[in-house]
Structure 1
Amino acid sequence: MKSFVTKHFLLIVLIVAIVFAFAMKATVFQQTPGGNDAPMTEPPAQFRQYWFGGKAELSRYSLEQAQYGALNRGEAVLIFVTEDFRTDTHVKAETPDSRDKAVPVLKTNLIKRFTTGIYDYSLFTSVFTPISNPTFPNTLKVSTSGQEWCGHSYLQIDYANNGYQVDGRSYFEKEAHEAYSVPKAMLEDELWNRIRLDPTKLPTGDIQLIPGTMTARLRHKRLDPLAATAKLDDYEGVLFPGRNLKAYRLEYPTDNRNLLIVFENVFPYKIVGWTETYKSKDNLLTSRAVLKTSIQSAYWNHNAPADSVLRDTLMH
C-alpha cells in the first residue's frame, strides 16, 4: 500500500483536489462563481409590492437621436420587470426544474425607434441584474440588437470567469464576427437597473465603465472598459418633468462623450429622461429622451386585438 501511494502520489493529490473543488462548488466549469445557496437579502416591503406584484412598468419617451450628423425624431420605450433568470445558461427560467438554477433579476428592456431620412432604425437592449443576491452581485447578461434598412446586428455580453465575454454578429464587415473578453467592470447598461434598485449605491467619482452597447453599435465602437467620472446631484434644469429630481452624470474624457440620467428621488425612482452627447459626423450633438407616459401592466397577458386600447393609453 505504501509503495502504491508513493508511486501514484501526484494522481491521488489531483483526484482529492478535484473532489474537494466539486464539494465546494468551485470548479472552472461553473460559468458564475459560487452557487445559488447563499441567502438573498430580503427587499423592503414597498419594493416587493411594486416589483413582485405581477406587473411591469412601461414608460414612453419622446426621442431625438443623433445619427449621421443630425438629430432624428422618434420614440423610446423603457420596460422594467422582474423575472427568474438562470445563472448557468443566462436565459429566463420557465420550468419548475430550472427554478433552482435561477435568481430573481430586474430586467431592463430599452427600445428606440427613429427615422433617418427615408429609412428607419430600431434598437433593442435587454439587461439582467440580480436583486439583492450576494452570490451574484454582477449583472449577468446584456443583449442588444439593431435593425435598419442597410442590415442588422446583434451584440451579447455574458458574465463568466470573473469577467465579461462579448460576442457579436453584424451585417457590417468590421463587426461581422466578434468574440473577445473584457475585465470585470460595471456596465453602463446596468445603471438603469441600479437606479431602480437603490440610487444611493450608484458609483461616483473616478470609475471604470463598460460603455453602453446601443451607442457602441451606432458608433461602431469596441466594448473596452473606459475611465469615467460619475456624479450624483440634484437636477436643476427644466427639460424633464417632475419634482425633487436627481441627476446622474457620466463623463468619458477619452471618448468625448457624456450621459445624463434624470430620475425621481422617491421610490420607485422612476426615470423621467436622459441626454447623451457625442460627435456624429464631426457634429457634437445631444440626444434627448423625455418621459411622456408611464403605466403598470402585465403586458404579456394583453396580446389580443381588443387589448390595443391599452396601447393607446401608453402611446398617447
Structure 2
Amino acid sequence: MNGYRLVQPRYGAPRTGSAVYIFVTEDFSDSVRVKADPGRHPASDVYPVMKLNAVRHFQTGIYDYKVMTSTFARVASGWPLAKVSFSSQEWCGHVYHQLLPRGGKEDGVFHSYFDGEADGQDNLPQPEGGIYEDALPIFVRGWGTTYLQPGESRKGPFLPSLLRARLDHKKLAWGQATISRSAGTSTVKVPAGSFDVSVWTVAEDGGRTFTYEIEAAAPFRLVRWSTDAGEEASLLGSTRLAYWKLNGPGGEQHLAEIGLKPASALRTER
C-alpha cells in the first residue's frame, strides 16, 4: 500500500489531492473475470493476478472527484492484461468503464451520465506487444521481467488509460509510444524519504510523456511519477498490510503509515 501527494490537472488548473495505490495478488476466474472464491471454479479456470487498485481524490472548487481504476495483470511473462475497470464519482454524476481482453480483441463497455455517451461499447484490436497505460505502474516495477535492460528503449502499441479517456472525453484508440529505461540510477527525495531510483519514460507519438521513478532495489516501489501535462505524485508512505481486515473502529490509525489522515467528520449545527 502506497500513499501519494497528488497534483491532478482539471478544468485548466492544478488540483491538489491524494492517491492510494494498492498492489495485491489474488486468484482470478478467467470465465467471469472477477476474484475467484476458493473451490468455486475448476482449476483450469483460475490463475493468479497482480491487482492494482489506484484511487485518486482531488478537489475541484466546491465539489470533489473520487476515481478508482482496478487493473488485473496475469502473473506471467510480460504481465498479460486480464481486465481493467474504472469508476468516477463527482457531484455532477458518475461513470463506469471496463475493458476485457478476449480472443485477440478488447471488449469494452461504458456507462456515463453525459448526453451523447450514456451506454456504449469499445471494440478494439489487441495488438501484439501492446502496452496499457493503466498497467504501467505494475509493468515498470519489473518483478522478474526483462522487458527493458538499463539503457534500452522500445517502441510499440500503446493504449491510454480509462481515466484519461474520461477526463478528456475521448474514445479509446491504440497509438504508439516509446518506452525507455535509464542506464543508471539517481537519487530522489520525496516526503517518504530518499530513494535510489531507475527512471522509466513513456513518450507517446504526438501525445504525452510520462516519467516513472522506480526504487532501484526491492520492493521496487513507485516513488514518483509525472507527466508533461502537469500531473505529479510523490510517495508519502508505504507499508504492507492486510487492509481488508482493518475495516473496524480503530483501523483508520494505519493510514498514518502511508502518510494519510482519516476523512474529517462533517460538522453539524445544533
Q: What range is the shorter-chain TM-score in? A: 0.7 to 0.9
Give, in angstroms, the shift of residue 182 of structure 1.
1.1
Tell me the equivalent position of 1:30: none
Deviation of the 1:238 alpha carbon: 4.6
Are residue 261 (structure 1) and residue 212 (structure 2) matched? yes
Q: Does 1:106 align with 2:55?
A: no
Letter in 2 for 1:194: F
Q: Corresponding residue for 1:271? A: 222
Cα deviations across residues 89-140 of structure 1 (Å, max 9, x unaligned)?
1000013131512101000010000001111001100001111269xx6211
Percent identity reads 32
* Unaligned ranges ≥5, structure 1: 1-57, 279-285
Distance 2:49 2:56 in 1: 23
Cross-structure match for 1:300: 244
Partner SS state of residue 244, structure 1 = strand
For structure 2, the residue ranges without an aligned partner over 5 or more in a row are 262-270
1:156 matches 2:98: yes
Map 1:53-72 to 2 at 5 A: 58-72=1-15
- Check the 8 A contact 1:242/1:264 in 2, yes or no: no
Which residue identity does 2:224 align to in structure 1? G
- In the alignment, the residues of structure 1 paired with residue 189 and residue 180 of structure 2 have an alpha-carbon distance, to the nearest angstrom, of 19
Matches of 1:198 and 1:262 in 2, distance apart? 18
What secondary structure is seen at the aligned counterpart in 2 of 1:217? helix
Offset at residue 186 of structure 1 (A): 2.2
Tell me which of 212, 227, 234 is aligned to 2:161: 212
**Which of 108, 120, 123 in structure 2 is aligned with 1:166?**
108
- Indicate the residue corresponding to 1:251 in structure 2: 203
Give the drift of 1:242.
3.2
SS at match of 2:40: helix
Which residue among 60, 65, 70 is the counterpart of 1:116?
60
Matched, 1:287 2:231: yes
Q: Distance in 1 between matches of 2:216 and 2:106?
A: 31
TM-score (norm 2): 0.86
8 A contact 1:195–1:269 mirrored in 2: no
More helix by share: 1
1:309 matched to 2:253: yes
Higher strand residue share: 2
Residues 217-256 of structure 1 aligned to structure 2 (within 5 Å): 217-233=166-182, 234=184, 236=186, 238=188, 240=190, 241-255=193-207
Structure 1: 4+ residue segments shifted above 2 A? 195-200, 202-205, 234-244, 311-314
Residue type of the partner of 1:247? Answer: V
Q: Is the 8 A contact 1:124 1:146 kept in 2?
A: yes
1:191 aligns with 136
- Counterpart of 1:302 in structure 2: which amino acid? L
State how many pairs are aligned: 249
Judging changes above 3 Å, is the alpha-carbon distance between structure 1 residues 246 and 127 closer, same or farther for their aligned structure 2 residues? same
1:236 to partner: Cα distance: 4.7
Q: Distance in 1 between matches of 2:133 and 2:222?
A: 15
Q: Alignment partner of 1:164: what SS?
A: strand
Question: What is the aligned partner in structure 2 of residue 125 from structure 1?
Answer: 69
Residue pair 1:211, 1:225 contacting (<8 A) in 2 also: yes
Match among 95, 118, 121 for residue 176 of structure 1? 118
Check whether the contact 1:84–1:92 (CA below 8 A) recurs between aligned residues.
yes
Which residues in structure 2 correspond to 1:75-86 (within 5 Å)?
Answer: 75-86=18-29
Q: Distance in 2 between matches of 1:89 and 1:178?
A: 20
Q: Counterpart amino acid of 1:289?
A: A
Residue matched to 1:7 = none
2: CA distance between counterparts of 1:78 and 1:213? 16
